[in-house]
Amino acid sequence: MAHSSPQVFSGITTEQFAKLTAKAQAAGIDLNGNSGKASKFGVEIAWNYAPETKELTLQCLSTPFFVKPADVDAKIKALVTESLG
């Protein structure tokens, strides 16, 4: 059960955040609201979106022993980057 450092993404509009939220919910991850925690398959993440500064912070809080936090971080970064494009 390990965690990683927070990843901060700047310039995220409310529309882009809504798109990311919809993607997460479609994958069965309950991102609801501007901040909170969610888990699936033993991976727990926390998020905080500040619409006034357009800053999104995502952090992997825990993983099962067979999943590396760095792998979760890479997937988060890829999904956010893909959604912004």
pLDDT band, very low/low/confident/very high, at 50 (cuts 50, 70, 90): very high
- Residues 8-31: pLDDT tens digits? 999 999 999 999 898 888 878 888
CA torsion, points 12, 16, 20, 25, in degrees to nearest 10? 130
How would you list the strands of the sheet with 43-50, edge to edge?
7-10, 55-62, 43-50, 35-40
Q: Which of 40, 46, 47 is nearest to 64 (CA)?
A: 40
Whether residue 35 is contained in a domain is answered as: yes
Q: What is the pLDDT of residue 57?
A: 96
Whether residue 25 is contained in a domain is answered as: yes
Whether residue 1 is contained in a domain is answered as: no
**Which CATH number covers residue 70?**
3.30.310
Q: What is the pLDDT of residue 76?
A: 87
pLDDT band, very low/low/confident/very high, at 2 (cuts 50, 70, 90): low
Whether residue 18 is contained in a domain is answered as: yes
Whether residue 2 is contained in a domain is answered as: no
Q: Which domain holds residue 63?
A: 7-84
Tell me the whole-structure pTM to 2 decimals: 0.87
Total of domains in the chain:
1
